[in-house]
A and B are shown apart, each in its own frame.
Chain A
Amino acid sequence: MNEKTLLTRRSFVTCSFAAISSCALAGPFALSALALPAQDIHGQIFKNDAPDKLWKWSHEGFLYRKLAGDKVMCGICPNHCILDKGDRSVCRSKVNMNGKLYTLAYGNPCSLNVDPVEKKPLFHFKPGTRVFSLATTGCNFRCLNCQNWEISQARPEDVRHYDLFPDGVVKEAISSQTQSIAYTYSEATTYFEYMIDIARLAKENGLFNLYISNGYINQEPLLELVKVLDGANINLKSFSDDVYRKLNGGRLNPVLETFKTLHEKKVHFEITNLVVPGYNDNEKLVNAMCDWILENLGPDHPLHFLRFFPQYKLDRLAPTPVSTLDTFRDIAMKKGLHYVYLGNVPNHEGNHTCCHQCGKRIVERKGYYISRFDITSGACSYCKTVIPGVW
């Protein structure tokens, strides 16, 4: 046998070290490139993704700043997208065309429906009425569990859409015998120009405007919007900035500011909080959230804890146990919040409204139907306590 085939102490140590170190180090180091996106899924600007020319459904941006070198900065949401000529914003709706900011989502809704108002969910706003709901494409978040990812993560040019400018929307809403228009499904903030023009017309025609949003909007456009707003449902995705970054690609603070502004401006709004197992099913977080709500918004804004179901990319988690939602509801009510509901749990006690003063059940809901309604002139029919909301 050749001497070189013998295992020497040195060769054994060398070979073992090489094998172990390559296994232990090479893989993880190479994979570190993949790890970065998992920490923060914040959306990025799409370079040179603007269409060659504007289309029929383009409209100059409502609020933006022109910067040096033909750049523009969108002022609608806290993403503050700075776009070079030909770039597209994070939400995919705005583009820089020759130094001007344009929205491509104006008059081209891709989804139109007439929904029960309870579906938004809004439990203290004209219960039992129907809402003309619309959306264009676009979102400033990247939620991994988005229910409407087909439109929220799409460009306006890439979907089938209706041709419906603001006056047409108002006509359709009236002809479908609805009392309100809801800006919903994708993210209403991303089609702000379209929304506010419809809302102004709707107001003139006696329709209500409902803003169903993630609340990721700057103060200036929000202050403009609240002038014509009648109700809102803002999705407080989590009370943790870390979870916002990991699951939604957004930040918590701007959303909290939106709540404060809506509260100050006395707009009726309700809060939804989706309880995602492993992320938001933390009692400490719920305690902190309720404390913040009580301190900054008071006890009267309805809070909906929603049950999570596997969706979109976040499809390998089990649904939220109903008992977790029960616990959270108890925590919130013990803290002093007056109206705490459970969503996505049909026919649960947490679907009904009980007067915060006398405790009697005053609105009983069976799915989207109101089987009992004991509110008279905005007050409990039993103890006459004023019930917050738009009745």
Chain B
Amino acid sequence: MKKTEHAIILLILATGVSSVVTQLLTIREFLAQFSGNEFIITLIFFNWLVLSGTGTLFARRTAILKKHMPSACTLTVCSLTLACLPVLQFFFIRFFRDFFFTHGTSVGFYPTLMFSMLLMAPYCLTLGFVLPYSLFILRLGRKTFSGTSIYIIDNIGDISGGILFSFVLIFVATPMQAFLFCGTVLIVATIYFCHAWSLSKPFWIISGILSFTVLLSGIFLEWTSIAPLEGMLETYKESRYGRVAVHKNKDQYTFFLDGMPVVSSQNELLAEEIVHFPLSQIERAENILVISGQGGIMREIARYKPENVFYLEMDPDVSGNMFRYGMITPIPGLQVIHEDAGKWLAATPLTFNAVIMNMPEPDTFQVNRFYTDRFFREVSSHLHEDGIFSFYIDGYDNYMTEPQREKISTIYNTLSECFSYISVLPAEKIFFLGSRKPIDTDIPKCLEKKGIDTEYIKSYFYGNITSMRMNYLSGLIDEKAPVNSDLSPRLMRIMYRQWFEKFDSSPIIFVILLTVSVGYYILRLSKGEYVLFTTGIMAMGSEIIIIFIYQTFYGYIYFKIGIIITLFLSGLLPGAIYGERFQTEREKDVLLAVTDGLIILMMVVLVAAISFLGAHVHHAFFLACGFIFSILCGFQFPLASRMKNNNNETLAAAFSADLMGASLGTILTSLILIPWSGIYGAIVCLLLIKLTSIAITARSS
């Protein structure tokens, strides 16, 4: 291989590593700056893929323009831009967040879509442009250079970036440090490229130094860029699960998780309700299980003199800071366990007098698992005969909206599948209590009998939880509302409605625009591009489904989810290498149809496994599924991208179709198919989409 080719390959690898790290950090940044619900996660992913796909289409335009000769200079500028732009992108996100939106407010769907798309555009468009453009440069020297090779090299870079971030950088580096590391690698690769292509020395030295200066500025300004306007930033950590920060304002510490204030050192009233509502009902407190913490609760629990308190907190950084700032105090018998609650409960033989759950609202797949019939049954099986289960959701002050009514009804009905007695209390939050024995909702009286004095409940309970308010709430519960289950997460759908209602908005405009754009795009696709487009949909859709099912059955295990994602990327590589062997048109047509058939078969196997075996399916099955899916998708790329010919224009279009399909697959599966039709419905829809691809391939051959 020539030195010039070698230099470009290194550049593509470095770009792949840097881009995946930037993508993952950008998603986390938007989660922290906007909202942690599934909409935002999907939206950022969608923007990324669509913009990269559009960038690839720009490259295609340059290939069409006969007058334009691919230039090493352009690639140099693009690569250096990619090296330092993540830092600028982050500063822009942080600065413009408060410039364009009112400080301290949440932002709705459309403003988030516009903001994220515009701020991500420079990076993503450049990124999408670079990959095919690198191939054009390579083909200046060797016209027959294979497009699939570029796809493979890019995938190696992506896989390396994913592994580097998930298993190394997340533990040791802040976002700006991660950018510095990856950006430096990219700058070095660019300088090597410039050297190999004999570009003017003073200019690449100056531009390299300038880019590196931008990266360094990120390190120095990082802390300042996330400091709050009120008070000061006391602690900041990017944990595996999100951004953990503690702000200090005068004598108050507030714990922020992904930008949302979750616990304040001066908010004791919620702790009283969380603890005393359930514990006032039990005779003895031998074993108490607390799933996720809230400020001040241990102090209140200690008043019942429990023998053992098991405090489950998945993120060690969360519990660590809660202890450090006195929001949770150590009490006798307390054991802190850093594990997923679903996984821990499934394995433990212990039973409890009370299980107190403090989970966020069920607006992500990950959290929805704690509000399903299966989880409630698991909790119920670990309760003593007279034990009690308690949790809460966001409340309302004086009027219950329709989505809120549906949410409460669904939770109530789900809970009633597992408990004979249920009480719902409209307090600061809406509390659900479930037990096998009757529940006395006169909490102050129960506490009086136990000789426990409280500050807040005693003084405010009867004024807030009046019989009129109780009757209003119980009268609105719809007993016909369907239950929330793992494979049909009804609550998420309701949460989406609630989110849109809060911003007086509707997703309909977006859906219409998306449908029209996708329709227009599909009409312009060639047969091969359509196959790749549907494969992109299938690849992302199946990845989301497999991760969803996996964490539903086994809990959220950071490393294993990371491995699934890595396997999804890893299979593309051998698949593409193998697919490259088949050259004749006849072979391609047959193999495309065969792989489409295999993808469909894999989906059917997946459905059969979860239907008949459920949680008994071995972990390895899901890992294998992910790997095989990606092998099949990778295998299709070289076949489909060479359906007509192997010119630059066709290849750029193929890259673009793959990315566009992936973006549609993300949004379709996460936001529409799973919440609205459940896992089975989602799989059927994806199968139908893939069947259209088979039909087209079969008809043309």
Contacts and interface: CB of A to CB of B under 8 A. Distances in A.
B197 A38 contact: no
A192 to B, nearest CB: 19
Contacts of B260: 310, 315-316
B400 to A, nearest CB: 7
B396 to A, nearest CB: 6
Interface stretch (A1-9, A78-86, A100-108, A219-227): A1-9
A135 interface: yes
A287 interface: no
Contact of A15 (B74, B114, B460): B74
Nearest to B270: A309
A313 B267 contact: no
Nearest to B254: A318
Interface in B33-78: 69-74, 76-78
A216 to B, nearest CB: 20
A116 interface: yes
A164 interface: no
Contact of B115 (A19, A31, A246): A31
A150 B460 contact: no
A318 B247 contact: yes
A310 B105 CA distance: 9
A318 B249 contact: yes
Contacts of B106: 313, 315-316
Interface stretch (B198-206, B302-310, B315-323, B680-688): B198-206
A26 B119 CA distance: 9
B103 A278 contact: yes
A113 to B, nearest CB: 6
Contacts of B207: 12, 16
B360 interface: no
A347 interface: yes
Contact of B261 (A27, A35, A313, A318): A318
A242 B140 CA distance: 61
Contacts of A19: 77-78, 81, 122, 126
B269 A323 contact: no
Contact of B105 (A144, A322, A323, A347): A144
Interface string B102-138: 1111100001001100110110001000000000010
B264 interface: yes
A368 B118 contact: no
Contacts of B268: 346
Interface stretch (B93-101, B176-184, B640-648): B93-101
Interface residues of B, number: 81
B298 interface: no
Contact of A7 (B203, B264, B398, B400): B203
A369 B516 CA distance: 61
B99 to A, nearest CB: 7
Given A2-B69, A317-B230, A38 B102 contact: yes
B266 interface: yes
Interface string A28-39: 101100110010
Contacts of A9: 200, 203
Contacts of B267: 309, 319
B261 A324 contact: no
B204 A30 contact: no
A316 B468 contact: no
Interface string A314-332: 1111110111100000000
B429 to A, nearest CB: 12
Interface in A83-133: 110-116, 118-119
A252 B107 CA distance: 26
Contact of B70 (A5, A118, A159, A319): A5
Interface in A356-378: 366-369
Interface in B439-475: 455-456, 458-460, 462-463, 466, 468-469
B390 to A, nearest CB: 21
Interface in B72-96: 72-74, 76-78, 81, 85, 88, 92, 96
Nearest to A344: B269
Contacts of A316: 104-106, 259-261
Contact of A35 (B100, B194, B251): B100
A391 interface: no
B266 A322 contact: yes
Given A1-B198, A41-B102, A318-B231, A366 B459 contact: yes
A153 interface: yes
A147 interface: yes
Nearest to A111: B398
Contacts of A48: none
B224 interface: no
A323 B69 contact: no
A99 B396 CA distance: 38
Given A38-B100, A246-B102, A12 B203 contact: yes
B397 interface: yes
Given A19-B81, A247-B102, A324-B250, A310 B261 contact: yes
A144 B104 CA distance: 10
A82 B102 CA distance: 28
A292 interface: no
A31 to B, nearest CB: 5
A153 B401 CA distance: 12
Contacts of B203: 7, 9, 12
B200 A119 contact: no
B269 A346 contact: yes
Given A16-B77, A316-B104, A113 B398 contact: yes
B596 to A, nearest CB: 40
A147 B229 contact: no
A277 interface: yes
Interface string B500-517: 001110000000000000
Given A312-B502, A315-B261, A322-B266, 18 more contacts: A1-B140, A12-B200, A12-B203, A15-B73, A15-B77, A16-B207, A19-B81, A27-B119, A35-B99, A38-B101, A148-B398, A150-B398, A316-B106, A318-B247, A318-B252, A321-B252, A321-B266, A368-B462
19 contacts: A4-B71, A6-B199, A7-B73, A12-B200, A15-B73, A26-B121, A114-B468, A148-B398, A150-B399, A150-B400, A278-B229, A313-B105, A315-B105, A316-B104, A318-B264, A319-B264, A322-B252, A322-B266, A367-B459
Interface of A: 1-2, 4-9, 11-12, 15-16, 19, 22-23, 26-28, 30-31, 34-35, 38, 41, 110-116, 118-119, 135, 144, 147-151, 153, 159, 185, 246-247, 276-278, 281, 309-310, 312-319, 321-324, 346-347, 366-369
Instruction: Give 4 closest A-B pairs by Cβ, nearest first.
Output: A367-B459, A368-B463, A318-B254, A321-B252
Interface of B: 4, 69-74, 76-78, 81, 85, 88, 92, 96, 99-106, 111, 114-115, 118-119, 121-122, 126, 137, 140-141, 194, 197-200, 203-204, 207, 228-231, 247, 249-252, 254, 256, 259-261, 264, 266-269, 396-401, 404, 455-456, 458-460, 462-463, 466, 468-469, 502-504
